[in-house]
């Protein structure tokens, strides 16, 4: 399975919220990678926060990047439940 990333958001504790082209939102923890090669530069929060989508994956300003398959495989799903039926709280306009 190959899924493109369409959105990335850096959050606290060196984690990323990733949105994939199939609509899934997943949480990826970068901490295990921060001791390796170019990823060590991402320990600086200012550098970590430069993450952006590039083509179908993510990249930082220091040119570090990760394969989208790795990002998908090593991330955990975030609950994306939506209401299937309207409730009093979310009424449809008439």
Which of these CATH numbers, 3.30.2020.10, 3.30.70.2740, 3.30.700.30, 3.20.20.140, describes 5-78?
A: 3.30.2020.10
Between 94 and 26, residue with greater pLDDT: 26
Which residue, among 94, 32, 90, 37, has the nearest Cα to 63 in the 3D structure?
37
Which tens digit of pLDDT belongs to each residue from 40-82? 999 999 999 999 999 999 999 999 999 999 999 999 999 765 5
Q: What is the predicted pLDDT for the residue at 74?
A: 97
Rg of the chain on CA atoms, in Å = 16
Across all residues in the chain, what is the average pLDDT?
Answer: 88
**Per-domain residue ranges of the chain:** 5-78
């Amino acid at each position: 399975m190959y899924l493109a990333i369409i959105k990335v958001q850096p959050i606290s504790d060196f984690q990323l919220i990733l949105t994939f082209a199939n609509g899934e939102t997943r949480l990826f923890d970068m901490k295990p990678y921060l001791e390796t090669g170019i990823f060590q530069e991402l320990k600086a929060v200012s550098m970590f926060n430069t993450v952006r989508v590039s083509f179908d994956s993510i990249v930082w300003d220091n040119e570090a990047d990760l394969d989208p398959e790795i990002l998908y495989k090593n991330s955990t799903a975030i609950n994306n439940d939506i209401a299937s039926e309207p409730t009093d709280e979310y009424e449809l306009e008439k």
